[in-house]
Each structure stands twice: as structure tokens, then as C-alpha cells.
Amino acid sequence: MKIEVVENVLKYNKDQADKNRNLFKNNNILVLNLLSSPGAGKTSLIIETIKRLKGKKDIGVIEGDISSTYDAEKIKKFTDNVVQINTGGTCHLNATMVAQAASKLKVENLDLILIENVGNLICPVGFDLGEDYKIVISSVNEGDDKPVKYPPVFIKSNLILLNKMDLIKISDFDQSFFDKKIGELNPRSEVIKLSCKTGIGLEKWVKWVLDCCRNKNDM
């Protein structure tokens, strides 16, 4: 009984995700689904991305939280194209929530949508939102063992961002261990090391985003 219900939920989600994907494709919008633990730096990365792409790309932001509009308010200082989803306790976004949020963005004007998923390294991985790419943000202070302890999100992501590199010298983070484990789990995905605080790696990240926008337009 339980499995059947879960399957129905995932099937329903997949159907809605496909509709989202069509909507985004018809409007030439690149959509990135940002996944991480709480406090790994998703919101800061979104703000830095908006700042650096100002005048180049029109960006919409979908903010997912179990409650509050705290992050959307932060982002509203940099763009009006932001919609907050409150999941009401649910531990991940789903495709229906994203469809509703997208209906409040002027999608015909956008080049890029950044979705900040609920801070959770486990549950959001299984829910397709219709995005082009999943991106996991791991932060130095969470420790070098996150790929070992939470493999699915590292396996399923198309890009791995290692944030808060400014803290690496005062931490016991073993970079070669982290890289080795990522290499075992997901050898095809690039790792970009960055710090939203110092700006390290942000140029590389922005280039990655722009390359993806270009590839999407060529499709």
C-alpha cells in the first residue's frame, strides 16, 4: 500500500516536471536547482550570481523554505523577480510548487531561473522539478566526509560547488579525500571551489552558467 502511494506521488511529480521543462524550453530559460544542507551558502551564491550577471542575463529566483520569507527578502534587494515558496513543513520542493511559483514570474522575459531548494541534503534529490541541472553546494565547514555520508546528492548533481573556501586554512578539511570520493561517486561532474565571501571561484562559476545558457539556446 505504502509503496503504491509513493509511486503515484513520484509519477505525478514527474508529469508536472515534464510540463515545467516544456515551459522553460519554450521560453529559452536555463533552470538550475540548487541543493545543499542548511547554511551552506545557497542564498549568498544566488545574490553573487545576480550581481555578476546584471545587464547580461535576466534572472528569476524561486526560494524554497519550510516557512518564512527571510531569504526572499534578502534577494529582493537585488531583483524583483523572486517568488517565495513555503512548503509548510515539507522537506523538499516538488514540481507542482515550482509550477505555481513560475506562474508568478514573467517567464517570457527571463534567461535563467535559480531555484533554491529547501536546505536538506537528502530528500530534495528524488524530486525532479523540470530543471536542466542539479547543483550541490557543500561547504568546507561541513567536513570532507559529506560525499561518503550523503552519496545520492553527489551522484545525481551535474556540478559540485565547494563553498566557504576562505575557511579551509583554519579547518581540518582534507581536500584530496573530498576530491577522491567525488571522483569515485561522480567522475563526470566538475568541482568548482569558491567563496562567496572573498569571491574566489565565482568567475569560474559564472562562466559555467553562461556556457550552459549558450548551450541551451543552441539546442
- Residues making contact with its own copies (CB under 8 A): 1-2, 5, 9, 37-39, 65-68, 70-71, 89, 91, 118-123, 139, 141-143, 145-146, 148-152, 164, 167, 170
What are the angstrom distances between the C-alpha of 192 and each of 4, 65, 136, 179, 182?
39, 25, 11, 11, 12
CB of 7 to its own copies, least distance (A): 12
Q: Based on CB atoms, which residue is closest to its own copies, 39 or 183?
A: 39
Give the integer Cα–Cα distance in Å for 144 and 81: 35
Radius of gyration of the chain (CA): 17
**Could you tell me which residues come within 8 angstroms of residue 163 by beta carbon, excluding any fewer than 6 positions away?**
40, 41, 45, 137, 138, 139, 140, 194, 195, 196
105 three-class SS? coil
CB of 13 to its own copies, least distance (A): 13
Q: Based on CB atoms, which residue is closest to its own copies, 13 or 110?
A: 13
Q: Based on CB atoms, which residue is closest to its own copies, 65 or 111?
A: 65
Q: Based on CB atoms, which residue is closest to its own copies, 10 or 23?
A: 10
CB of 143 to its own copies, least distance (A): 5
CB of 25 to its own copies, least distance (A): 31
Q: Based on CB atoms, which residue is closest to its own copies, 32 or 185?
A: 185
- Is residue 66 within 8 A of residue 86, CB to CB? The reply is yes
Q: Based on CB atoms, which residue is closest to its own copies, 133 or 150?
A: 150
**Cell numbers representing residue 210 in the block:** 553562461
CB of 170 to its own copies, least distance (A): 8
Give the integer Cα–Cα distance in Å for 160 and 94: 21
CB of 31 to its own copies, least distance (A): 23
Look-up: residue for cell 533554491? 116
Strand partners, 136: 35, 160
